[in-house]
Amino acid sequence: MTTPSHPGHPGYPDHPGRADGAIPQGQIDPMGPAAATDGTLGSGGPADLALQEAARRHLWLHFTRMSSYADADMPVIVRGSGQYVYDQKGKRYLDGLSGLFVSQIGHGRREVAEAGARQAAELAYFPLWSYAHPRAVELAERLATLAPGDLNRVFFTTSGSEAVESAWKLAKQYFKTTGEHGRYKVLSRDIAYHGTSMGALAITGLPGIKHPFEPLPAGGVRVPNTNFYRAPGFVADDLGAFGLWAADEIERAILREGPESVAAVFLEPVQNSGGCFPPPPGYFARVRKICDRYGVLLVSDEVICAFGRLGYYFGSQRYGYQPDIITFAKGLTSGYAALGGMLVSDRLMEPFSEGPATFLHGVTFAGHPVSCAVALANLDVFEKEDLLGNVRANEAAFRATLEKLNDLPIVGDVRGDGYFYGIELVKDKASRLTFDEDESERLLRGFLSQALFDAGLVCRADDRGDPVIQLAPPLTCGPEHFAEMEQILRSVLTEAWTRL
Ligand code: PMP
Protein backbone atom coordinates (compact mmCIF):
# COMPACT_ATOMS: atom_id res chain seq x y z
CA MET A 1 0.00 0.00 0.00
CA THR A 2 1.33 3.40 -0.84
CA THR A 3 1.17 6.23 1.61
CA PRO A 4 0.51 9.53 -0.07
CA SER A 5 3.40 11.90 0.28
CA HIS A 6 0.87 14.68 0.43
CA PRO A 7 -2.81 14.76 1.16
CA GLY A 8 -4.23 13.47 -2.11
CA HIS A 9 -7.25 15.40 -3.28
CA PRO A 10 -10.49 13.64 -2.40
CA GLY A 11 -11.78 14.46 -5.83
CA TYR A 12 -9.04 15.56 -8.15
CA PRO A 13 -5.38 14.85 -8.37
CA ASP A 14 -2.97 17.70 -8.78
CA HIS A 15 -3.24 18.98 -12.29
CA PRO A 16 -0.16 20.96 -13.13
CA GLY A 17 -1.91 22.12 -16.26
CA ARG A 18 -0.81 21.51 -19.78
CA ALA A 19 2.55 23.19 -19.93
CA ASP A 20 2.45 24.08 -23.61
CA GLY A 21 -1.11 25.38 -23.40
CA ALA A 22 -1.89 23.61 -26.66
CA ILE A 23 -5.30 22.21 -27.46
CA PRO A 24 -5.07 18.71 -28.89
CA GLN A 25 -6.61 18.60 -32.33
CA GLY A 26 -10.00 17.00 -32.54
CA GLN A 27 -10.83 17.97 -28.98
CA ILE A 28 -12.53 21.24 -29.78
CA ASP A 29 -16.25 20.73 -29.56
CA PRO A 30 -18.16 22.70 -32.16
CA MET A 31 -20.94 23.02 -29.60
CA GLY A 32 -18.52 24.37 -26.99
CA PRO A 33 -17.63 28.01 -26.57
CA ALA A 34 -15.67 29.20 -29.55
CA ALA A 35 -12.14 30.23 -28.69
CA ALA A 36 -12.14 34.01 -28.80
CA THR A 37 -9.53 35.80 -30.84
CA ASP A 38 -10.03 39.32 -29.53
CA GLY A 39 -8.07 39.27 -26.29
CA THR A 40 -11.08 38.34 -24.14
CA LEU A 41 -11.33 35.24 -21.95
CA GLY A 42 -10.59 32.15 -24.00
CA SER A 43 -8.40 33.84 -26.61
CA GLY A 44 -5.10 32.97 -24.96
CA GLY A 45 -4.63 36.72 -24.78
CA PRO A 46 -4.55 39.32 -21.98
CA ALA A 47 -7.77 38.26 -20.23
CA ASP A 48 -6.57 34.65 -19.92
CA LEU A 49 -3.18 35.74 -18.68
CA ALA A 50 -4.79 38.08 -16.15
CA LEU A 51 -7.07 35.30 -14.87
CA GLN A 52 -4.14 32.92 -14.45
CA GLU A 53 -2.12 35.59 -12.69
CA ALA A 54 -5.02 36.40 -10.34
CA ALA A 55 -5.57 32.70 -9.66
CA ARG A 56 -1.87 32.22 -8.93
CA ARG A 57 -1.81 35.16 -6.54
CA HIS A 58 -5.15 34.79 -4.78
CA LEU A 59 -6.87 31.44 -5.17
CA TRP A 60 -6.10 28.52 -2.87
CA LEU A 61 -7.19 25.19 -4.34
CA HIS A 62 -8.32 22.41 -2.00
CA PHE A 63 -6.05 19.43 -1.33
CA THR A 64 -3.69 20.75 -3.98
CA ARG A 65 0.05 21.24 -4.17
CA MET A 66 -0.05 24.88 -5.13
CA SER A 67 3.60 24.67 -6.19
CA SER A 68 2.39 22.67 -9.22
CA TYR A 69 1.05 25.91 -10.61
CA ALA A 70 4.02 28.13 -9.95
CA ASP A 71 5.08 27.83 -13.59
CA ALA A 72 2.05 26.20 -15.15
CA ASP A 73 -1.51 27.22 -15.84
CA MET A 74 -4.34 26.05 -13.63
CA PRO A 75 -7.01 24.23 -15.59
CA VAL A 76 -9.97 26.60 -15.76
CA ILE A 77 -13.36 25.07 -16.47
CA VAL A 78 -15.75 27.72 -17.74
CA ARG A 79 -18.97 25.94 -18.59
CA GLY A 80 -20.77 22.62 -18.76
CA SER A 81 -23.34 21.06 -21.01
CA GLY A 82 -24.84 17.62 -20.48
CA GLN A 83 -22.10 15.10 -19.68
CA TYR A 84 -19.30 17.46 -20.76
CA VAL A 85 -17.42 20.45 -19.41
CA TYR A 86 -15.32 22.96 -21.34
CA ASP A 87 -12.18 24.82 -20.46
CA GLN A 88 -11.45 28.40 -21.36
CA LYS A 89 -9.94 27.36 -24.68
CA GLY A 90 -13.10 25.54 -25.67
CA LYS A 91 -11.60 22.11 -25.16
CA ARG A 92 -14.18 19.52 -24.19
CA TYR A 93 -13.87 16.96 -21.37
CA LEU A 94 -16.16 14.05 -20.56
CA ASP A 95 -17.07 14.58 -16.91
CA GLY A 96 -16.38 11.05 -15.75
CA LEU A 97 -16.53 12.07 -12.08
CA SER A 98 -19.65 14.28 -12.12
CA GLY A 99 -17.38 17.10 -10.95
CA LEU A 100 -16.85 15.52 -7.56
CA PHE A 101 -19.59 12.86 -7.43
CA VAL A 102 -22.11 15.69 -7.67
CA SER A 103 -23.53 16.40 -11.14
CA GLN A 104 -26.08 13.59 -11.37
CA ILE A 105 -28.32 15.26 -13.97
CA GLY A 106 -25.40 16.72 -15.91
CA HIS A 107 -24.50 20.30 -16.64
CA GLY A 108 -26.34 23.27 -18.08
CA ARG A 109 -29.92 22.47 -17.04
CA ARG A 110 -31.87 25.67 -17.40
CA GLU A 111 -34.95 24.52 -15.50
CA VAL A 112 -32.90 23.81 -12.39
CA ALA A 113 -30.93 27.06 -12.62
CA GLU A 114 -34.17 28.98 -13.13
CA ALA A 115 -35.80 27.34 -10.10
CA GLY A 116 -32.91 28.75 -8.05
CA ALA A 117 -33.25 32.20 -9.60
CA ARG A 118 -37.02 32.27 -8.98
CA GLN A 119 -36.51 31.33 -5.34
CA ALA A 120 -33.80 33.98 -4.86
CA ALA A 121 -36.24 36.60 -6.15
CA GLU A 122 -39.06 35.37 -3.89
CA LEU A 123 -37.13 34.68 -0.68
CA ALA A 124 -33.36 34.53 -1.01
CA TYR A 125 -32.64 33.72 2.57
CA PHE A 126 -34.20 32.99 5.86
CA PRO A 127 -32.73 30.76 8.56
CA LEU A 128 -34.08 27.42 9.73
CA TRP A 129 -33.37 28.60 13.29
CA SER A 130 -36.90 28.82 14.77
CA TYR A 131 -38.46 29.49 11.36
CA ALA A 132 -39.43 27.30 8.44
CA HIS A 133 -39.70 28.27 4.77
CA PRO A 134 -41.83 26.49 2.18
CA ARG A 135 -39.06 24.92 0.09
CA ALA A 136 -37.37 23.35 3.14
CA VAL A 137 -40.70 21.88 4.25
CA GLU A 138 -41.51 20.55 0.78
CA LEU A 139 -38.06 19.08 0.35
CA ALA A 140 -38.05 17.48 3.83
CA GLU A 141 -41.43 15.89 3.09
CA ARG A 142 -40.25 14.64 -0.31
CA LEU A 143 -37.06 13.16 1.11
CA ALA A 144 -39.02 11.43 3.87
CA THR A 145 -41.22 9.87 1.19
CA LEU A 146 -38.20 8.63 -0.76
CA ALA A 147 -36.19 7.40 2.23
CA PRO A 148 -36.28 3.83 3.53
CA GLY A 149 -38.39 2.81 6.54
CA ASP A 150 -38.97 5.23 9.38
CA LEU A 151 -36.47 7.90 8.30
CA ASN A 152 -38.93 10.75 8.47
CA ARG A 153 -37.10 13.76 9.84
CA VAL A 154 -34.65 15.91 7.90
CA PHE A 155 -31.98 18.10 9.45
CA PHE A 156 -30.36 20.18 6.71
CA THR A 157 -26.73 21.27 6.47
CA THR A 158 -24.72 22.83 3.65
CA SER A 159 -22.22 20.01 3.03
CA GLY A 160 -21.33 16.38 3.54
CA SER A 161 -18.83 17.10 6.29
CA GLU A 162 -21.48 19.06 8.17
CA ALA A 163 -23.93 16.21 7.67
CA VAL A 164 -21.47 13.71 9.18
CA GLU A 165 -20.58 16.14 11.95
CA SER A 166 -24.31 16.62 12.69
CA ALA A 167 -24.94 12.87 12.80
CA TRP A 168 -22.19 12.34 15.35
CA LYS A 169 -23.43 15.28 17.44
CA LEU A 170 -26.99 13.97 17.29
CA ALA A 171 -25.84 10.50 18.37
CA LYS A 172 -23.94 12.00 21.30
CA GLN A 173 -26.75 14.24 22.45
CA TYR A 174 -29.37 11.54 21.89
CA PHE A 175 -27.55 9.17 24.23
CA LYS A 176 -26.93 11.89 26.83
CA THR A 177 -30.62 12.80 26.68
CA THR A 178 -31.74 9.19 27.05
CA GLY A 179 -29.41 8.48 29.98
CA GLU A 180 -26.63 6.54 28.23
CA HIS A 181 -24.02 9.13 29.07
CA GLY A 182 -20.99 7.05 28.18
CA ARG A 183 -21.79 6.54 24.49
CA TYR A 184 -19.67 8.80 22.31
CA LYS A 185 -17.36 6.62 20.20
CA VAL A 186 -17.81 6.07 16.48
CA LEU A 187 -16.60 3.17 14.39
CA SER A 188 -15.67 3.60 10.75
CA ARG A 189 -13.62 1.71 8.19
CA ASP A 190 -9.97 1.88 7.26
CA ILE A 191 -9.28 4.34 4.43
CA ALA A 192 -12.91 5.59 4.42
CA TYR A 193 -13.41 9.31 3.77
CA HIS A 194 -16.15 10.97 5.80
CA GLY A 195 -15.21 14.64 5.52
CA THR A 196 -12.70 17.19 6.72
CA SER A 197 -14.19 19.20 9.60
CA MET A 198 -12.65 18.12 12.89
CA GLY A 199 -15.41 15.72 13.92
CA ALA A 200 -15.83 14.26 10.45
CA LEU A 201 -12.04 13.98 10.18
CA ALA A 202 -11.96 11.97 13.41
CA ILE A 203 -14.34 9.53 11.68
CA THR A 204 -12.32 9.53 8.45
CA GLY A 205 -9.95 6.56 8.20
CA LEU A 206 -7.11 8.13 6.21
CA PRO A 207 -4.11 8.71 8.50
CA GLY A 208 -2.34 10.88 5.91
CA ILE A 209 -4.93 13.67 6.01
CA LYS A 210 -5.43 13.53 9.79
CA HIS A 211 -1.96 13.86 11.27
CA PRO A 212 -1.53 17.62 10.74
CA PHE A 213 -4.72 18.27 12.70
CA GLU A 214 -4.26 16.03 15.69
CA PRO A 215 -5.40 15.93 18.39
CA LEU A 216 -8.83 15.34 16.89
CA PRO A 217 -12.02 14.83 18.92
CA ALA A 218 -11.73 11.59 20.90
CA GLY A 219 -13.67 8.50 19.98
CA GLY A 220 -12.83 7.52 16.37
CA VAL A 221 -12.23 3.77 16.09
CA ARG A 222 -11.24 1.91 12.90
CA VAL A 223 -12.54 -1.41 11.60
CA PRO A 224 -11.55 -3.27 8.39
CA ASN A 225 -13.02 -2.20 5.07
CA THR A 226 -14.54 -4.53 2.50
CA ASN A 227 -11.70 -4.63 -0.03
CA PHE A 228 -12.13 -8.22 -1.24
CA TYR A 229 -9.30 -7.85 -3.76
CA ARG A 230 -6.97 -7.55 -0.78
CA ALA A 231 -8.85 -9.77 1.67
CA PRO A 232 -6.88 -11.62 4.35
CA GLY A 233 -5.78 -15.10 3.21
CA PHE A 234 -8.21 -17.11 5.34
CA VAL A 235 -11.25 -15.53 3.61
CA ALA A 236 -9.63 -14.58 0.30
CA ASP A 237 -11.52 -17.21 -1.73
CA ASP A 238 -14.96 -16.75 -0.25
CA LEU A 239 -16.73 -13.41 -0.66
CA GLY A 240 -19.56 -14.37 1.72
CA ALA A 241 -17.17 -15.48 4.46
CA PHE A 242 -15.10 -12.34 3.92
CA GLY A 243 -18.17 -10.13 4.36
CA LEU A 244 -19.21 -11.88 7.54
CA TRP A 245 -15.68 -11.65 8.90
CA ALA A 246 -15.58 -7.89 8.13
CA ALA A 247 -18.97 -7.41 9.84
CA ASP A 248 -17.90 -9.47 12.84
CA GLU A 249 -14.84 -7.25 13.17
CA ILE A 250 -17.32 -4.48 13.99
CA GLU A 251 -18.71 -6.58 16.82
CA ARG A 252 -15.21 -7.33 18.06
CA ALA A 253 -14.39 -3.59 18.04
CA ILE A 254 -17.58 -2.78 19.96
CA LEU A 255 -16.71 -5.40 22.58
CA ARG A 256 -13.11 -4.23 22.77
CA GLU A 257 -14.13 -0.59 23.27
CA GLY A 258 -17.00 -1.47 25.63
CA PRO A 259 -20.51 -1.40 24.14
CA GLU A 260 -21.61 1.22 26.69
CA SER A 261 -19.08 3.66 25.13
CA VAL A 262 -20.03 3.20 21.46
CA ALA A 263 -22.57 5.59 19.92
CA ALA A 264 -22.55 4.81 16.19
CA VAL A 265 -21.03 3.01 13.22
CA PHE A 266 -20.51 5.12 10.09
CA LEU A 267 -20.45 3.16 6.81
CA GLU A 268 -20.88 4.11 3.17
CA PRO A 269 -23.03 1.73 1.10
CA VAL A 270 -20.10 1.49 -1.35
CA GLN A 271 -16.89 2.80 0.18
CA ASN A 272 -15.39 5.40 -2.09
CA SER A 273 -11.91 5.94 -0.77
CA GLY A 274 -9.60 3.08 -1.68
CA GLY A 275 -11.47 2.60 -4.94
CA CYS A 276 -15.11 1.55 -4.67
CA PHE A 277 -15.59 -1.36 -2.30
CA PRO A 278 -19.14 -2.70 -2.64
CA PRO A 279 -20.50 -4.53 0.40
CA PRO A 280 -20.17 -8.32 0.21
CA PRO A 281 -23.46 -10.22 0.37
CA GLY A 282 -24.72 -10.47 3.94
CA TYR A 283 -22.45 -7.71 5.23
CA PHE A 284 -25.04 -5.07 6.03
CA ALA A 285 -27.61 -7.56 7.35
CA ARG A 286 -24.99 -8.76 9.84
CA VAL A 287 -23.92 -5.19 10.73
CA ARG A 288 -27.56 -4.24 11.36
CA LYS A 289 -27.93 -7.19 13.76
CA ILE A 290 -24.71 -6.29 15.57
CA CYS A 291 -25.79 -2.65 15.96
CA ASP A 292 -29.15 -3.76 17.36
CA ARG A 293 -27.51 -6.23 19.72
CA TYR A 294 -25.40 -3.49 21.33
CA GLY A 295 -27.71 -0.50 20.97
CA VAL A 296 -25.36 1.22 18.50
CA LEU A 297 -26.71 3.53 15.77
CA LEU A 298 -26.06 2.60 12.15
CA VAL A 299 -25.26 5.70 10.11
CA SER A 300 -25.27 5.21 6.35
CA ASP A 301 -23.00 7.91 4.95
CA GLU A 302 -24.54 8.38 1.52
CA VAL A 303 -22.90 11.65 0.59
CA ILE A 304 -21.84 9.91 -2.64
CA CYS A 305 -24.14 6.88 -2.82
CA ALA A 306 -27.55 8.59 -2.58
CA PHE A 307 -29.56 10.16 -5.40
CA GLY A 308 -29.10 7.62 -8.12
CA ARG A 309 -25.38 6.88 -7.98
CA LEU A 310 -26.28 3.22 -7.38
CA GLY A 311 -29.60 3.25 -9.24
CA TYR A 312 -31.70 4.02 -6.14
CA TYR A 313 -32.53 7.19 -4.27
CA PHE A 314 -30.54 5.81 -1.35
CA GLY A 315 -27.68 3.32 -1.42
CA SER A 316 -29.09 1.49 1.60
CA GLN A 317 -32.15 0.64 -0.53
CA ARG A 318 -29.96 -1.13 -3.06
CA TYR A 319 -28.42 -3.37 -0.41
CA GLY A 320 -31.59 -3.78 1.63
CA TYR A 321 -30.60 -2.45 5.04
CA GLN A 322 -32.30 0.04 7.33
CA PRO A 323 -30.06 2.77 8.74
CA ASP A 324 -30.89 4.87 11.79
CA ILE A 325 -29.43 7.93 10.08
CA ILE A 326 -28.59 8.68 6.46
CA THR A 327 -26.16 11.52 5.73
CA PHE A 328 -26.39 13.07 2.27
CA ALA A 329 -25.20 16.06 0.18
CA LYS A 330 -23.69 16.28 -3.34
CA GLY A 331 -26.25 14.70 -5.73
CA LEU A 332 -29.31 16.13 -3.98
CA THR A 333 -28.83 19.35 -5.93
CA SER A 334 -26.60 17.99 -8.71
CA GLY A 335 -24.36 20.89 -7.71
CA TYR A 336 -26.66 23.70 -8.87
CA ALA A 337 -26.43 24.92 -5.25
CA ALA A 338 -24.87 23.64 -2.02
CA LEU A 339 -26.94 21.47 0.29
CA GLY A 340 -26.49 18.53 2.64
CA GLY A 341 -28.26 17.01 5.58
CA MET A 342 -29.28 13.97 7.52
CA LEU A 343 -32.42 11.90 7.57
CA VAL A 344 -33.16 10.42 10.96
CA SER A 345 -35.63 7.94 12.35
CA ASP A 346 -38.64 8.94 14.42
CA ARG A 347 -37.01 7.12 17.33
CA LEU A 348 -34.04 9.52 17.33
CA MET A 349 -36.29 12.55 17.16
CA GLU A 350 -38.49 11.43 20.05
CA PRO A 351 -36.35 12.63 22.99
CA PHE A 352 -36.19 16.07 21.33
CA SER A 353 -39.93 16.42 20.81
CA GLU A 354 -41.05 17.31 24.33
CA GLY A 355 -40.56 20.18 26.78
CA PRO A 356 -37.35 22.18 26.57
CA ALA A 357 -35.40 19.42 24.80
CA THR A 358 -33.49 20.88 21.83
CA PHE A 359 -30.84 19.54 19.48
CA LEU A 360 -28.18 22.16 20.19
CA HIS A 361 -26.74 22.45 16.72
CA GLY A 362 -27.20 24.54 13.58
CA VAL A 363 -25.51 26.46 10.78
CA THR A 364 -26.58 29.67 9.08
CA PHE A 365 -26.94 28.48 5.50
CA ALA A 366 -28.36 25.01 6.22
CA GLY A 367 -31.44 24.35 4.11
CA HIS A 368 -30.89 27.55 2.16
CA PRO A 369 -34.10 28.40 0.26
CA VAL A 370 -32.31 28.58 -3.10
CA SER A 371 -30.63 25.22 -2.50
CA CYS A 372 -33.94 23.61 -1.47
CA ALA A 373 -35.70 24.99 -4.57
CA VAL A 374 -32.87 23.67 -6.71
CA ALA A 375 -33.03 20.25 -5.01
CA LEU A 376 -36.76 20.00 -5.72
CA ALA A 377 -36.20 20.89 -9.37
CA ASN A 378 -33.34 18.38 -9.51
CA LEU A 379 -35.59 15.62 -8.16
CA ASP A 380 -38.19 16.60 -10.76
CA VAL A 381 -35.59 15.90 -13.45
CA PHE A 382 -34.86 12.51 -11.83
CA GLU A 383 -38.54 11.64 -12.11
CA LYS A 384 -39.24 13.10 -15.55
CA GLU A 385 -36.25 11.39 -17.13
CA ASP A 386 -36.33 8.24 -14.99
CA LEU A 387 -32.66 8.58 -14.16
CA LEU A 388 -32.77 5.70 -11.69
CA GLY A 389 -34.16 3.58 -14.51
CA ASN A 390 -31.35 4.75 -16.79
CA VAL A 391 -28.69 3.69 -14.30
CA ARG A 392 -30.35 0.33 -13.72
CA ALA A 393 -30.78 -0.29 -17.44
CA ASN A 394 -27.19 0.66 -18.32
CA GLU A 395 -25.09 -0.35 -15.34
CA ALA A 396 -24.35 -3.80 -16.73
CA ALA A 397 -23.11 -2.20 -19.95
CA PHE A 398 -20.97 0.23 -17.92
CA ARG A 399 -19.42 -2.65 -16.01
CA ALA A 400 -18.88 -4.72 -19.17
CA THR A 401 -17.22 -1.80 -20.96
CA LEU A 402 -14.85 -1.09 -18.07
CA GLU A 403 -14.09 -4.78 -17.66
CA LYS A 404 -12.66 -4.79 -21.20
CA LEU A 405 -9.71 -2.99 -19.61
CA ASN A 406 -8.90 -6.20 -17.73
CA ASP A 407 -6.76 -7.25 -20.70
CA LEU A 408 -4.23 -4.52 -19.84
CA PRO A 409 -1.30 -5.69 -17.70
CA ILE A 410 -1.63 -2.67 -15.40
CA VAL A 411 -5.31 -3.28 -14.52
CA GLY A 412 -5.64 -5.45 -11.41
CA ASP A 413 -9.28 -5.05 -10.48
CA VAL A 414 -12.41 -3.36 -11.82
CA ARG A 415 -15.02 -2.96 -9.09
CA GLY A 416 -18.13 -1.04 -8.20
CA ASP A 417 -21.86 -0.91 -8.68
CA GLY A 418 -24.30 1.37 -10.45
CA TYR A 419 -22.48 4.34 -11.97
CA PHE A 420 -19.66 4.18 -9.44
CA TYR A 421 -16.44 2.31 -10.31
CA GLY A 422 -12.83 2.00 -9.27
CA ILE A 423 -10.03 0.51 -11.35
CA GLU A 424 -7.09 -0.68 -9.28
CA LEU A 425 -3.69 -0.48 -10.94
CA VAL A 426 -1.00 -3.03 -10.18
CA LYS A 427 2.59 -3.69 -11.09
CA ASP A 428 2.02 -7.41 -11.39
CA LYS A 429 -1.38 -8.88 -12.12
CA ALA A 430 -0.64 -12.42 -10.96
CA SER A 431 0.73 -11.50 -7.54
CA ARG A 432 -1.39 -8.31 -7.23
CA LEU A 433 1.82 -6.48 -6.36
CA THR A 434 1.21 -2.77 -5.99
CA PHE A 435 3.52 0.15 -6.70
CA ASP A 436 5.99 1.51 -4.20
CA GLU A 437 5.68 5.12 -3.15
CA ASP A 438 8.13 6.35 -5.73
CA GLU A 439 6.46 4.54 -8.62
CA SER A 440 3.05 5.66 -7.44
CA GLU A 441 4.22 9.25 -7.33
CA ARG A 442 5.69 8.99 -10.82
CA LEU A 443 2.76 7.08 -12.24
CA LEU A 444 -0.23 8.84 -10.71
CA ARG A 445 0.97 12.36 -10.11
CA GLY A 446 3.73 12.46 -12.67
CA PHE A 447 1.78 11.04 -15.56
CA LEU A 448 -1.71 9.58 -15.26
CA SER A 449 -3.69 12.46 -13.79
CA GLN A 450 -2.44 14.90 -16.36
CA ALA A 451 -2.54 12.48 -19.28
CA LEU A 452 -6.17 11.50 -18.63
CA PHE A 453 -7.16 15.13 -18.36
CA ASP A 454 -5.23 16.03 -21.51
CA ALA A 455 -6.98 13.17 -23.28
CA GLY A 456 -10.32 14.74 -22.41
CA LEU A 457 -11.50 12.73 -19.40
CA VAL A 458 -12.24 14.12 -15.95
CA CYS A 459 -11.75 11.26 -13.50
CA ARG A 460 -9.63 10.73 -10.47
CA ALA A 461 -6.33 8.97 -10.02
CA ASP A 462 -5.80 8.42 -6.32
CA ASP A 463 -3.39 6.53 -4.12
CA ARG A 464 -4.65 7.11 -0.64
CA GLY A 465 -5.19 3.37 -0.55
CA ASP A 466 -3.73 1.34 -3.39
CA PRO A 467 -3.55 3.27 -6.69
CA VAL A 468 -6.96 3.50 -8.33
CA ILE A 469 -8.77 5.42 -11.02
CA GLN A 470 -12.29 6.34 -10.08
CA LEU A 471 -15.30 6.94 -12.27
CA ALA A 472 -18.73 8.30 -11.34
CA PRO A 473 -20.27 9.85 -14.45
CA PRO A 474 -23.57 11.75 -14.67
CA LEU A 475 -26.59 9.47 -14.45
CA THR A 476 -27.64 10.56 -17.94
CA CYS A 477 -24.66 8.73 -19.49
CA GLY A 478 -25.16 5.80 -21.82
CA PRO A 479 -23.09 3.32 -23.85
CA GLU A 480 -21.46 5.98 -26.06
CA HIS A 481 -20.02 7.70 -22.98
CA PHE A 482 -18.84 4.40 -21.50
CA ALA A 483 -17.04 3.67 -24.78
CA GLU A 484 -15.40 7.10 -24.75
CA MET A 485 -14.16 6.53 -21.19
CA GLU A 486 -12.85 3.08 -22.06
CA GLN A 487 -10.98 4.33 -25.13
CA ILE A 488 -9.29 7.17 -23.26
CA LEU A 489 -8.41 4.93 -20.31
CA ARG A 490 -7.08 2.22 -22.64
CA SER A 491 -4.73 4.52 -24.50
CA VAL A 492 -3.48 6.37 -21.40
CA LEU A 493 -3.04 3.21 -19.30
CA THR A 494 -1.21 1.50 -22.17
CA GLU A 495 1.17 4.46 -22.35
CA ALA A 496 1.55 4.42 -18.53
CA TRP A 497 2.66 0.78 -18.64
CA THR A 498 5.44 1.57 -21.09
CA ARG A 499 6.73 4.25 -18.75
CA LEU A 500 7.16 1.98 -15.74
N1 PMP B 1 -18.79 11.67 3.44
C2 PMP B 1 -18.50 11.07 2.28
C3 PMP B 1 -18.81 9.61 2.11
C4 PMP B 1 -17.90 11.78 1.25
O5 PMP B 1 -17.59 11.17 0.10
C6 PMP B 1 -17.64 13.16 1.42
C7 PMP B 1 -17.02 14.01 0.33
N8 PMP B 1 -16.46 13.39 -0.73
C9 PMP B 1 -17.97 13.75 2.65
C10 PMP B 1 -18.56 12.98 3.63
C11 PMP B 1 -17.71 15.20 2.88
O12 PMP B 1 -18.50 15.98 2.08
P13 PMP B 1 -18.16 17.53 1.80
O14 PMP B 1 -16.95 17.55 0.93
O15 PMP B 1 -19.39 18.04 1.13
O16 PMP B 1 -17.94 18.17 3.12
CATH code of the domain in which 131 resides: 3.40.640.10
- Look at residue 5 in the predicted model and tell me its pLDDT: 28
pTM, rounded to two decimals: 0.93
Atom nearest to 273 CA in ligand 1: 5
User: Which of 103, 161, 420, 460 is the pocket-test mutation for ligand 1 (most atoms within 8 Å of CB)?
Assistant: 161
Closest C-alpha to ligand 1, atom 2: 194
Select from 476, 468, 475, 423 the least CA-distant residue to 444. 468
Structural domain boundaries, residue 249 = 111-384
Q: How remote is the CA of residue 475 from the centroid of ligand 1, in Å?
A: 19
What is the Cα–Cα distance from 151 to 406, expressed in whole angstroms?
40
Specify whether 362 is located in the same domain as 413.
no
Residues 349 and 275 in one domain: yes
> Which residue, among 198, 169, 159, has the nearest Cα to 365 in the 3D structure?
159
10 Å CB burial of residue 355 (0-12, 13-18, 19+) is exposed
According to the model, what pLDDT value does residue 39 have?
64
> Same domain for 266 and 140?
yes
Ligand 1: which of 303, 325, 330 to mutate, judged by most atoms within 8 Å of the beta carbon? 303
Q: What distance in Å separates the CA atoms of residue 239 and residue 403, rounded to the nearest whole number? A: 19
Rounded to the nearest angstrom, the distance between the alpha carbon of 164 and the centre of ligand 1 is 8
CA proximity to 330, closest of 127, 142, 108, 97: 97
Domain contains 17: no
Q: Which atom of ligand 1 is least distant from the CA of 10?
A: 8
Residue nearest to ligand 1 atom 15, measured at CA: 160
Judge whether 324 and 350 are in contact, CB under 8 Å. Answer: no
What pLDDT sits at residue 46?
87
pLDDT value of position 38: 60
Residues with CB under 6 A from ligand 1: 10, 159-161, 164, 193-195, 268, 272, 301, 303-304, 329
CA of 26 to the centre of ligand 1 (A): 35
Q: 62: domain CATH number?
A: 3.90.1150.10
16 domain-assigned: no
Task: Say yes or no: 271 and 341 in one domain.
Answer: yes
Query: What average pLDDT values come out for the chain (500 residues) when binned by 10 residues?
Result: 30 31 34 53 81 95 94 94 95 98 98 98 98 98 98 98 98 98 98 98 97 98 98 97 98 98 98 97 98 98 98 98 98 98 96 95 98 98 98 98 98 98 97 93 89 97 91 98 98 94
Number of domains, the chain? 2
